């Protein structure tokens, strides 16, 4: 297939699309102060050892900052370590089991048809706004019990949270401080919105995830409204961002490989493996971060305590030691041990839902549109954050 970075003029420094894992699987970057981890085995080892590699990265990232983060991280399972992380995760784990998720299939299919009905008959369709964004955000909003009709408001908040195109760095600059402040402000607005819904559930419980969080107890204590809101915030944001990128990325890959597109249209049993290869080839969350709790050794490199590690998922998923022809999109790849959903205790809770949404949406798209190809007059645009791999807009010709 043609190289996506070359075809669409993407900056080659965006390593998730163009570029290769360096010879060293672990490399210290003096400019940013980060330890970059590129290897697949090294990523697995880090994710499997939360006692050494903590998810509470703010402890290091904001160590010398005078920023007031307040209660921004209270109740957020993404930045928690054991044992509290496991107790928080258990609160909603039943909502994301394969069996529970499978029961959502009819609703996901109905929503997909409904959204595509709105663009039926058009010569070109902007896929992200038509389907890839609204579908997963409606599903997760309905699960939580917040109004899915307010999805445009959610999108405004989330876009601003991920709007910066700057690399994470321990070198404090005014620009980075401004980015952090703006991100915290957007997260705060979304949190206040969700806190209002949490308070309402205390007065009038319903059959939804938000009520379950409000009524749950951890170590004999109810969660505060702030903890509920931060937890719900993660579910709402992570519950749709990954799937939005997954759907768009898969279609972009199929556009660049007409043979793969033709095979998939002829044999839909290839959909699951096509989705897995998309998660590997264009990993939605291209980087995850950890902080060392003690001195550690990775790939022969001694890393002191209280250092910030950037685990480059996009590079690990192209590790030549693990993946044959790693820079080739191969929908039939087997085995495919990618880490697109992470690994260990922080493995993406919503992975079964994201896979199901992607499979159903893509299957229906292929049924309803015999032709879907990227519009050269309206080339795709990409999310600005170097930690995310996904299209921001993707205009497709449907005839």
Bridge-partner residues for 309, per DSSP? 35, 290
- pLDDT tens-digit map of 206-231: 999 999 999 988 888 888 888 899 88
Measured CA to CA in angstroms, residue 365 lies from 248, 264, 326, 369 at distances of: 12, 12, 27, 6
Residue ranges of domains in the chain, CATH in brackets: 4-56+78-317+342-397 (1.10.630.10)
> Considering the entire predicted model, what is its pTM?
0.94
Q: Kindly state the DSSP code that residue 164 receives in the 8-state scheme.
A: -
DSSP 27-55: EEETTTTEEEE--HHHHHHHHT-TTTEES
Tell me the average pLDDT across 135-156.
89
Biggest distance spanned by C-alpha atoms of the chain: 60
33-77 pLDDT, tens digit each: 999 999 999 999 999 999 999 999 988 987 766 666 667 788 889
């Amino acid at each position: 297939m043609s190289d996506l970075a070359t075809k669409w003029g993407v900056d080659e420094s965006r390593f998730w699309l163009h570029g290769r894992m360096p010879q060293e699987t672990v490399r210290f970057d003096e400019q940013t102060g980060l330890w970059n981890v590129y290897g697949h085995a090294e990523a697995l080892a880090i994710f499997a050892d939360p006692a050494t590699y903590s998810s509470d990265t703010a402890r290091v990232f904001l160590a010398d900052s005078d920023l007031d983060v307040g209660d921004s991280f209270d109740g957020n399972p993404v930045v928690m370590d054991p044992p509290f992380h496991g107790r928080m995760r258990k609160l909603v784990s039943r909502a994301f089991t394969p069996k529970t998720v499978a029961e959502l299939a009819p609703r996901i299919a109905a929503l997909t048809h409904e959204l595509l009905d709105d663009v039926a008959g058009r010569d070109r369709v902007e896929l992200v706004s038509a389907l890839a964004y609204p579908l997963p955000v409606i599903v997760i909003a309905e699960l939580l019990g917040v109004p899915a009709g307010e999805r445009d408001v959610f999108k405004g908040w989330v876009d601003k949270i991920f709007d910066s195109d700057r690399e994470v760095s321990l070198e404090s600059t005014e620009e980075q401080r401004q980015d952090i402040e703006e991100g915290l402000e957007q997260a705060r607005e979304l949190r206040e919105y969700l806190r209002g819904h949490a308070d309402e559930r205390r007065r009038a419980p319903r059959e939804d995830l938000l009520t379950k969080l409000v009524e749950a107890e951890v170590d004999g204590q109810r969660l505060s409204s702030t903890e509920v809101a931060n937890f719900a915030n993660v579910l709402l944001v992570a519950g749709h961002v990954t799937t939005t990128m997954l759907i768009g990325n898969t279609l972009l890959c199929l556009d660049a490989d007409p043979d793969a597109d033709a095979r998939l249209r002829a044999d839909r049993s290839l959909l699951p493996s096509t989705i897995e290869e998309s998660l590997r080839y264009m990993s939605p969350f291209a980087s995850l971060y950890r902080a060392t709790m003690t001195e550690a050794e990775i790939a022969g490199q001694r890393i002191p305590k209280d250092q910030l590690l950037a685990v480059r998922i996009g590079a690990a998923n192209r590790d030549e030691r693990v993946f044959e022809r790693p820079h080739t999109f191969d929908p039939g790849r087997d085995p495919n041990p990618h880490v697109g959903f992470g690994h260990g205790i922080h493995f993406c809770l919503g992975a079964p839902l994201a896979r199901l949404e992607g499979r159903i949406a893509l299957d229906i798209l292929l049924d309803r549109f015999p032709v879907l190809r990227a519009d050269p007059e309206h080339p795709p645009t990409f999310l600005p954050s170097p930690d995310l791999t996904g299209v921001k807009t993707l205009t497709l010709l449907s005839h």
